[in-house]
A and B are shown apart, each in its own frame.
Chain A
Amino acid sequence: MVVFREAVRLGCAVAVCGSVLVGCTSGGGGSSGSSPAKKAAAGTTAGPSPTAVVDIDPAGLPTTSGQAAALIRDVIAEPAAFGPGAVRRTPYESDPRRWPVLGDDCVWQQRALPKNVLATLTRSYEIPASGSKGPLRLSAVVTVHRTPEQADWENAEVLEEMMRCPAQRLRSDEVITSLNNAPNSFGESGNGYADDVLTELGAYTGAEVGGPHPYLWEQTRIGPVTLAVSAKGAEGWSRADLFDRLREPHSGMRTRLKSAIDRDAPEPEAPEPDAPGPDGSAKGDRR
């Protein structure tokens, strides 16, 4: 009997050995670049910020699926964020009524979205094969929960799943193995840019690209929202390459999210980014 829990998407595992958190300081730009908590307007809005990373008005957070879905569309990355050559994959977006769940058999399956998740969206991208390099498969996921606590449970479950299933089957012809993760809460190990950071490393093997190749999943939580980016390696892609490719899109999503839910944000929607490279809305957090 296979049991499905309200398990979460994979986090990226970071081997805690020595120096493995290579590239994970990437997001550090966000801490200096994001708008400082605007304490000047004390008393204008009610409610303490549910996150230390940015001053959020809790009343401004999504409470319905529709609001959450709109927020996600503002936040989730465009292909260009992953750098030159990145294009959409087909299918590009996930079915918004479903999300992946890891069973006791360590196989991922699509299940109906649970009630405590307001909305989620996954986009798939690719840097097609060229020269000696195979195709790099990328994804971005944004999930809006009802409360920060529930988002925190999502991250906890990522870690559980990694322990319970250090090898996981993504699809009938794709597996990830040797999963490792080192989580850091806000303030730990230089994490000043998210309430929680998970970096999961592993090995990816697929029928199309063979393997094992490097696999990386990075996930952060800010308030009730979790953001994730992932990369499934192929020939010619090193782990350092994967970190490099995921840095900008992840940072961009965090910046857009913070801007969107900041207490003093003037509009509920942030403008659509249309330029390649890191998003211009970032306040100086270029790498």
Chain B
Amino acid sequence: MTEKLTPTDPARVGGHRLLARLGAGGMGVVYLGRAESGELAAVKVILPEYADRTEFRTRFRREVAAARRVDSPWAVPVIGADPDAPAPWLATAFVPGPSLAEAVAACGPLPPRGVRVLGRLLARALTAVHDAGLVHRDVKPGNVLLAADGPRLIDFGIARATEETALTSAGMIVGTPGFLAPEQARARPASPASDVFALGCLLSYAATGRPPFGTGAVDALLYRTVHDEPDLAGVTDDTRAFLERCLAKDPAARPPAREVAEILADDTSDEDLDWLPDAVVRLVAERSAATLALPDIEATALDARADGRPSDGQPPDVPSDVPADAPAASGPVGRRRFLLLGGAAALLAAGGGAALWATRRDDDGTPSAAPPRARRWVLGVQADLTGPRKALGQAQERGVRLAVEQFNSRADKPFTLTLRTVDDRGDETRAAEAARTLAADRDVLAVIGSTGDGTTGASLDSYDEQLVPQLTVSSAQSAYGTAQPRHFLQTVPGYTNLPVTAAFSLRAQGARRVAVLIDRAGAVPAWEFGRTMFQNLGVIGIAGEPRVVPRLAENLAATVAEMVAHRPDGFVCTGTPARVAAVARALARTDFDGPRVLGHPAAGPEFLTAAGAAAEGWQVFAPYIAPSAAPVRAFATAHRKRYGAPPAYWAAEAYDVARMVITRLVEAGGRPSRQQLYDLLAKGTYKGLVRTYAFDEEHRWWLKGYETFRYEVKGGRYSYAGKADA
């Protein structure tokens, strides 16, 4: 929840270019800024009129000096300050993750072990703060941000209003009611023990989802803090005993922060993200990625087409989804953004239901209330049925056909759906023709296809011109040249979205230095997947070596040998099946022994054949579920019955998409126009067998969510290893 800069905000402070407001209070504003080095910073700027009060600058200078002495990986470092400026400012490293408040609001309380690990790490941060001579005075869930490797305590003890002004008027309380220690509630000076009390409140909030003294009217809250016992219902016994000590009314009875850290120590490593629930880890990844996507590039680039961007001195448009420390409002907790190049981890969120149209018009002007005419309801399929991707194309066509036939066999069907299939053979020229043909058929309501990325790109404009909703099942590029389709939906996690799961999995498998080889022969999908993977690994703290091999390169083995010489403990390769197989063979000849991942576009039978024994152990993180998996068992049975063969990969996904289209057609309550159908599809959330389908608000055709399924080559086959969610 950042806000745009207002016209009165400065454009730069202390060498930082200001991008957005993170928050504001009586004393000044906290901005998101970018240093000249490119680093992001939280820049707190004090209003001059406040700064000129007696003693303020002296105290500020002293506190900044103290903050620079705070030395803990779990407390954000000070990266700049100028106490002597007319508007004094302080810059700390910006943490792009969500706050603990957001995480608990979105994902629920933490499990007991998570609470203890969080407590230990924050206690260490507080120890460092106290050792530097500071008192934080505002430890609360909003001031704990979650980064990829642990929490970060922010906003400690600097330039807060003095206690004399506390409690005398609304909004002037120092600290946050609900987390204030009793002595603070009584306007007595805060001490390190006050921080420990607040930590106790924070941990009990993390454990139960409720602050221990409740919420509500401030004066009642402060009263309860001073007089009542904390509400620790639901906290496990071992943690409860220790929390009661932290929440003692008498400051002297509370353990110092150092002791808190010792009490909570156990023998597990700090860096394990296992202590956070999966949903929180995803939230962290998404938020981190969103911010590190360097929003000003994207905003500027997207604006470049819309306007000439005159230099009017206004700051550039900033995105409004850079996280702040407020709890998330209801609704999606974050948006999908590119991870640097374009892939963002989108958090699956339940969007609104499908709109039910109260009024509708056919696009040829026929009143919908008229008696049913003999007009065909046609669902188009454009697929590669006989070309290089015919296995995928045929599987998808079968999935769609089965859905249509099942619908048509309903006794109460409101219309009969006709399937019209065109084979583009995987050829771009044919794809453009196929699209023109289907789009020109006025009875076609929507088209599912094309199978490949190139053919999809070639068909976009034809469908878009005729407003035909086009949905892809397997084409997953984040962009198709400069096309800006407005009736297009990708029902598959993009190549720039999906790698985050693989990155987390590699980390869980112990990889810490991953080599990433991107073969240009694999075209845009290989580039997008590999580039995003490299980026995501960086975001979660894994060092990597990126290597790009050109199409014209002949000897991949030499590159592989160079990469292995740097002793990676993980390897990722994207490209064509044949070339990735060559990499696999080369890798098998080295002493590399760690996890190996190939980009899913290359993971077909050809890879297995070409790589032979060297394929063993390679992992695939794919957007398609195994046809034998439980969620699609009924579909597989129906498929076998109808076609005499089990479904191939991608059939279930196509089946889901066809059923989604059918559902929206039925909901429309009459024949919708193409535009109306698109709006129903784009705005709706559809729960399919394989995943739930909802689309990104900002980039309308991207799928929200990145359900991924893991496979591992065993015995010369792709063995399904289940859903991969970090």
B372 within 8 A of A: no
Of residues 286 through 336 on chain B, the ones whose CB sits less than 8 Å from some CB of chain A are: 294, 296-298, 300-302, 304-305, 308-311
B479 in contact with A20 (CB, 8 Å): yes
Q: With A163-B534, A177-B38 known to touch, is A183 a contact of B302 (CB < 8 Å)?
A: no
Of all chain B residues, which has the CB nearest A190?
B481
Q: With A149-B550, A185-B520, A188-B454 known to touch, is A17 a contact of B296 (CB < 8 Å)?
A: no
Residues from chain A with a CB closer than 8 A to the CB of B546 are 160, 163-164
A178 in contact with B554 (CB, 8 Å): no
Q: How far is the CB of B76 from chain A (nearest CB, A)?
A: 21
Q: Is the interface of A mostly helix, strand, loop or mixed?
A: mixed
Give Cα distance in the complex from A239 to B524, angstroms. 23
B523 in contact with A21 (CB, 8 Å): no
Give Cα distance in the complex from A160 to B300, angstroms. 24
A239 in contact with B523 (CB, 8 Å): no
Q: Mark A139-171, 1 if CB is under 8 A from B, else 0.
A: 000000000110011011101100110110000
Give Cα distance in the complex from A184 to B527, angstroms. 9
B484 within 8 A of A: yes
B37 in contact with A17 (CB, 8 Å): no
B242 within 8 A of A: no
Q: Mark A234-272, 1 if CB is under 8 A from B, else 0.
A: 011011110100000000000000000000000000000
Give Cα distance in the complex from A77 to B609, angstroms. 49
A230 within 8 A of B: no
Give Cα distance in the complex from A243 to B337, angstroms. 24
A202 in contact with B297 (CB, 8 Å): yes
Q: Which of A25, A153, A166, A203 contacts B340 (CB 8 A)?
A: A166
Give Cα distance in the complex from A13 to B298, angstroms. 12
Residues from chain B with a CB closer than 8 A to the CB of A190 are 457, 481-482
Of residues 111 through 152 on chain A, the ones whose CB sits less than 8 Å from some CB of chain B are: 132-133, 148-149, 152
B297 in contact with A183 (CB, 8 Å): no
B34 in contact with A15 (CB, 8 Å): no
Q: Which of B36, B520, B554 contacts A156 (CB 8 A)?
A: B520
Looking at B454, B524, B528, B699, which has the most chain A CB atoms within 10 Å of its CB?
B524
A16 in contact with B311 (CB, 8 Å): no
Q: How large is the interface on A (under 10, 10 to 19, 20 to 34, 35 or more residues)?
A: 35 or more
Q: How far is the CB of B461 from chain A (nearest CB, A)?
A: 10
A16 in contact with B496 (CB, 8 Å): yes
Residues from chain B with a CB closer than 8 A to the CB of A175 are 36-38
B161 within 8 A of A: no
B479 in contact with A17 (CB, 8 Å): yes
Give Cα distance in the complex from A153 to B520, angstroms. 10
Q: Which of A16, A157, A241 contacts B342 (CB 8 A)?
A: A16
B338 in contact with A212 (CB, 8 Å): no
A19 in contact with B338 (CB, 8 Å): no
Residues from chain B with a CB closer than 8 A to the CB of A235 are 311
Q: How far is the CB of A218 from chain B (nearest CB, A)?
A: 14
Q: With A239-B300, A239-B309, A241-B308 known to touch, is A17 a contact of B478 (CB < 8 Å)?
A: yes
The residues of B with any CB-CB pair to A shorter than 8 Å are 17, 34, 36-38, 294, 296-298, 300-302, 304-305, 308-311, 337-338, 340-342, 428, 454, 457, 478-484, 496, 518, 520, 523-524, 527-528, 531, 534-535, 546-554, 699
Excluding A17-B342, A17-B478, 10 further A-B contacts by CB distance (< 8 Å) are: A17-B338, A19-B305, A20-B479, A163-B534, A167-B37, A178-B296, A189-B524, A238-B308, A239-B301, A240-B309
User: Can you list 18 A-B contacts with CB-CB less than 8 angstroms, sorted by A residue number?
Assistant: A15-B301, A18-B298, A20-B479, A148-B552, A149-B552, A149-B553, A149-B554, A156-B520, A157-B548, A163-B531, A166-B340, A175-B37, A177-B38, A182-B342, A185-B551, A212-B17, A236-B311, A240-B304
